[in-house]
Amino acid sequence: MRALLRVEATRLRWRRAVVLLLVAAVALPALILASVAWSTRPVSEAEQDQILSQRYAAKEVRRCERDPENFLYPAPVSTDAAQVEQACRAQILQWYGGRATLRLEAETREGSLLGVVAVVGLLMLLMGTTFVGHDWNSGSMSNQLLFEPRRARVWAAKAAVVTLVGALVAGTVLAAYWTGLWGLAASRDLATGGGVVGDGFELVARGALLAAAGALGGYALTMLFRSTVATIGVLFAVSVVGGTLIGLLGSAGGSTERWQPQLNVLAFVTNELRYYDESDLPEECFTGRGGSGEECNGERVLTATDGGLYLGALLLGAGALSLGSYRRRDVP
């Protein structure tokens, strides 16, 4: 088995499309990091003076100083005029300066880190797909089986290599990205405390797991469909039609929102997801006849465990189908 693992690792390394995808998995996050760094760069003093010298901005600063509670959030604790003025200038600068300040916490929950997880996860899925799709496309799969006819071992060796490489690359890239953001925030004297860095690394770990699962899933589906194009087509169709279909099932009775794939992915990566689903609330909640309180609260919570179990079950199902099919079907 060790020889087989080494061979599959070499095969992966020698495959040009895979190398290109891995390069993209490094380059795209690097570009995103550079873009975040540029778009959140501090406004220079000259720029600040230029913005605040505009009539509308100066007027807004004065209004803010007169009524800080309506302009600043959270409301200023101090009533010191100088401090209020500084806070107002910062707020108006943020509004009219056209540039957001880098906030690590925002980058994890709804910011670029999630985007990078999505990009890297998608690239790892494509890596798993194209790695083995090439074997089927070129017909070299049959050649490989002439040397190692134990199909379960071949399947497992390829799966292990794809998963490990997916996890390693995604883990490294995501960790580097988060470290980069952290370093950027620290270099700008922005807040990096309060456990936000640890939360980010936790998200990185979950993102790497998701990317590895994506690589394995892409591989398993391609071993099932025996074509990269077919796999991508099926995934595309599922992503377009699947959500609608689940929604339609929900309209037939009972809520199916919980089974939407994207919600489960988000729940798994972000540790917990709160969403609203009012489809199974009692009718009274909508007619205004007595319905109120907790039973009319449409907020639902999906935990990372919920999401993980959902994704794990999908992966297990795809893997079992893929292995079973590979072991039984004739190889062209």
The answer to the question of residue 4 lying near other proteins (CB under 8 A) is: yes
Smallest distance, Å, CB 142 to other proteins? 5
Restricting to residues 125-154, which ones interact with other proteins according to CB under 8 A?
134-135, 138-140, 142-150
**165: enclosing H helix or E strand:** helix 151-187
65 Cβ contact partners less than 8 Å away, ≥ 6 residues apart: 81, 84, 85, 88
Interatomic CA distance for residues 78 and 141, integer angstroms: 72
Burial 267-301 (b: 16+ CB within 10 A, else e): bbbbbebeeebeeeeeeebeeeeeeeeeeeeeebe
Q: Is 302 helix (H, G, I), strand (E, B) or coil?
A: strand
CA angle 283, 281, 238 (to 5 degrees): 125
Of the pair 145, 248, the CB lying nearest other proteins is at: 145
Of the pair 114, 331, the CB lying nearest other proteins is at: 331
Identified binder of other proteins from the candidate list 16, 44, 195, 244, rule CB under 8 A: 16
Of the pair 18, 117, the CB lying nearest other proteins is at: 18
Of the pair 16, 55, the CB lying nearest other proteins is at: 16
Interatomic CA distance for residues 185 and 181, integer angstroms: 6
First to last CA, the chain: 24
| Stretch in the footprint of other proteins (CB under 8 A) among 6-14, 212-220, 240-248, 273-281 | 6-14
Identified binder of other proteins from the candidate list 14, 46, 53, 198, rule CB under 8 A: 14
Of the pair 142, 297, the CB lying nearest other proteins is at: 142
Residue 219's closest CA among 234, 207, 236, 231? 231
| Stretch in the footprint of other proteins (CB under 8 A) among 11-19, 91-99, 108-116, 176-184 | 11-19
Identified binder of other proteins from the candidate list 3, 81, 82, 252, rule CB under 8 A: 3
Smallest distance, Å, CB 28 to other proteins? 23
The answer to the question of residue 7 lying near other proteins (CB under 8 A) is: yes
Give the phi and the psi of residue 253 in degrees, each rounded to 5.
145, 125
Smallest distance, Å, CB 3 to other proteins? 5
326 Cβ contact partners less than 8 Å away, ≥ 6 residues apart: 151, 155, 223, 224
Q: Under a CB-based contact definition with an 8 Å cutoff, are residues 63 and 91 in contact?
A: no
Site pattern 302..331 for other proteins (x: CB under 8 A): --------------------------x-xx
Of the pair 39, 142, the CB lying nearest other proteins is at: 142
Q: How many CB atoms lie within 10 A of CB 98?
A: 11
Q: Under a CB-based contact definition with an 8 Å cutoff, are residues 170 and 119 in contact?
A: no
Of the pair 83, 143, the CB lying nearest other proteins is at: 143
Q: Distance between alpha carbon 102 and the CA centroid of its chain, in Å?
A: 19
Which residue type occupies 302?
Answer: L
The answer to the question of residue 13 lying near other proteins (CB under 8 A) is: no
Of the pair 139, 282, the CB lying nearest other proteins is at: 139
Restricting to residues 156-215, which ones interact with other proteins according to CB under 8 A?
none
Output DSSP code: residue 53: T
Smallest distance, Å, CB 128 to other proteins? 17
| Stretch in the footprint of other proteins (CB under 8 A) among 8-16, 203-211, 261-269, 305-313 | 8-16
Of the pair 89, 134, the CB lying nearest other proteins is at: 134
Does residue 74 have a cis peptide bond before it, meaning omega lies within 30 degrees of 0?
yes
Smallest distance, Å, CB 111 to other proteins? 38
Question: What is the binding site for other proteins (CB under 8 A)?
Answer: 3-4, 6-7, 10-11, 14-16, 134-135, 138-140, 142-150, 328, 330-331
